[in-house]
Structure formats: C-alpha cells, structure tokens
Amino acid sequence: MAIHVNRRKFIASLSGATAAWPLAARVQQPTMPVVGFLTSATLSGYAPFAAAFRQGLSETGFVEGQNVAIEYRSAEGQNDRLPALAAELVRPQVTVIAAAGTPSALAAKAATKRIPIVFSTATDPVAIGLVASLNRPGGNITGVTNLGTELVQKQLEMLQRLVPTATIMAVLINPTSPSLTESTAKDAQAAARKLGVQLHLLHASTASDLDGVFATMVQLRVAAFVVGPDAFFFSRRDQIAELATRYAMPAIYYVREFAAAGGLMSYGVSVADGYRVAGVYVGRILRGATERLASPGVDEVRASHQPKDCQDTRPRRATRTIRRCRRANRVTMLFAASAHDR
C-alpha cells in the first residue's frame, strides 16, 4: 500500500545542484558518505525501523561502518527538539538526511533546501506540504508514505465488529504531531458518525501521559480504543500494550509490532518495509554521490567521454568548466539515477 514518490523525476530535479554548490564544500566532502538519520522517537524504541532502513541501504551496496557512516539524532519523544537536531546534521553537511516520521521530515525540510532528504511518513506528503506532488515532488525531498492515517476509519469499523456492544470509543493521538493529529482526528470523527458511536480524542505525548489516558478512559466508560500512527506511540508500544491488558481495554493498532508486544490486534501496512524502501532510495542517492567523489580531480561532474578541453580540474575554473561542458556532457547529475530508473 506504500506510495513511492517518483525517484527519477526527483533525481532529475537535482541535476543542476552541482554547479550551484560552492566548490570548497565539494572539495571537503568526506571519502565515506554520511547519512543523517533523524527521528522523533527513542532510538531503542525505533530499532526495528532503523534496522529495516539499514537493510535497504545494504540492498544498494552500502553497509554501515564499511562504506557509509550514519549519524543518528533522536528527539527522545520531544518533537520540539527536532529543529535543533536537524540543524546539527546540516552544519557538518551530511550527504543525505533520512527523516523518520512526519515531524522529522518537516524539521529536515525547514533546515535545508540543499541536502537531499528522504522521508518515511504515515500521512499524505502533499497535504502537509512536504512535496508539491507525488509524481513531481520537486526541490530536495522525496520519500515513502504508507498513508497510515487514512486507515483509522477501517480500524474503528473492525473494532466495532470485535466489540459490537461498544457505544463509546476513543482514539489516542499525539498533540505534538499536529499534521498527523489533524488527519487522524478528522477521519476518526467521520467514521464514528457513520458507525453511530461516541468518540473521544485522547492526547498523550509522554510516558506519564499514558497512565493518565487509561484512567481517563475508565472514567469516560470507553469500551475500546484505537492507537493513532505516531513514532512516540511506537516507541512506547510495550507500555501501551501492558496498560491495555491491565485495564482489560480492547484496542487496535496500526502496525503488527504492537500485537507482537502483547496488543490485541493490528490493521495496517508494513511500516518496516516502507523504511526498507527509504533505505534503497538513500542508497541510490549515495551511489551517485560516491561516483562523484571517486572521479579524479576537483571537477566532480567530469565524465570520461568529455572533450579533453573540458577536463580542467583547477579550482578557479571549475564553475566555468561546468557551464562550458554541460552541452558536451549530459551526465552532470549530482545524484545519478540507477539503471532501473533510466
């Protein structure tokens, strides 16, 4: 069900970026490319998705510690820290930023218009302004969406079938992720009206909030609840599943990892596979970057079939050389497309 933003058109949109980059920045690129992995969740809680991301990288020939380095930045469940963490990745100029989740993607996009960003999100990237369109993302950002927020209607329907006597239900959302919250709340309320059930939107953004949420559900006589898609909830899946068992509260979750942690049931796509695909995207961008770094001389976009007079590698002439040779050499992309994309 994952929707993949068109890779070829994204890569093509960056084709002129090399000429625009300062020459000094290109010279100072490390021999081993660096990926910045940005997430709002705890790294330990997000470990399965990070592992899936690394698997995608390995499928394109990149293995952490061997030919690629990964700088991890985690907001530890505090989304207000994401802008500063994104800036930390931009300052040393990582090769690519992998933004895990919607809040991370928005923070990365605000931090740079130059460094490529590959996101993985549960909502419509066009609706929240990440990309211009799925077919033509534009700018320096692309990625994968599983549209998990749009599944809440089906989740409520399945929950009602499981607990047919339930007339009061709840949806758990994170108020510090407004883009996810708004989409989830809107679809959940529409579904509740259709199903004829009373719906409560309950907020939680810290571990201590979760204890209070379950106490509130008891007071409101909630018969069953849905956990909305959010990186914080995923990182606290063990706690949520344990609380649901303690309070004997039927619940449905958006990924199978909650059920594996002891939750009742899940309905959704494989989020881990989305991260694997994001890793593949990053690997393809890195492939172009490493090819550029491996080329001799300072003029990183030089191709072997260029005319001899276009192979001047002196720093002072690099920009002029690029302009003069652009017609002779069409392979001037900073991030080369794979054979599959051509």
- Contact yes or no for 338/287 (Cβ under 8 A): yes
Give me the mean pLDDT over the 237-251 stretch: 96
Q: What is the pTM of this model?
A: 0.71
Whether pLDDT at 316 is above 70: no
Ramachandran sector of residue 96 (left: φ over 0; alpha: ψ -120 to 50; beta: rest): beta
Report which of 239, 233, 257, 123 is spatially closest to residue 174, judged by C-alpha positions: 233
The residues, any chain, with a CB within 8 Å of residue 62's CB and separated by 6 or more, are: 33, 68, 283, 286
Give per-residue pLDDT as tens, 159-187.
999 999 999 999 999 999 998 888 899 99
State what percent of residues in the chain have pLDDT above 70: 75
d(CA 36, CA 41): 15
pLDDT per position as a tens digit, 120-149? 998 899 988 999 888 888 889 999 998 888
Mean predicted confidence (pLDDT) in 88-106: 94
The tens digit of pLDDT for each residue in 249-273 reads 999 999 999 999 999 999 998 999 9
- The gap from C-alpha 128 to its chain's centroid, in whole angstroms, comes to 13
pLDDT at 199 over 80: yes
pLDDT single digits (tens) 9-35: 444 444 443 333 343 344 444 478 999
Q: Which helix (H) or strand (E) holds 100?
A: strand 96-100
Upper half-sphere CA count for residue 265 (Cβ side, 13 Å): 13
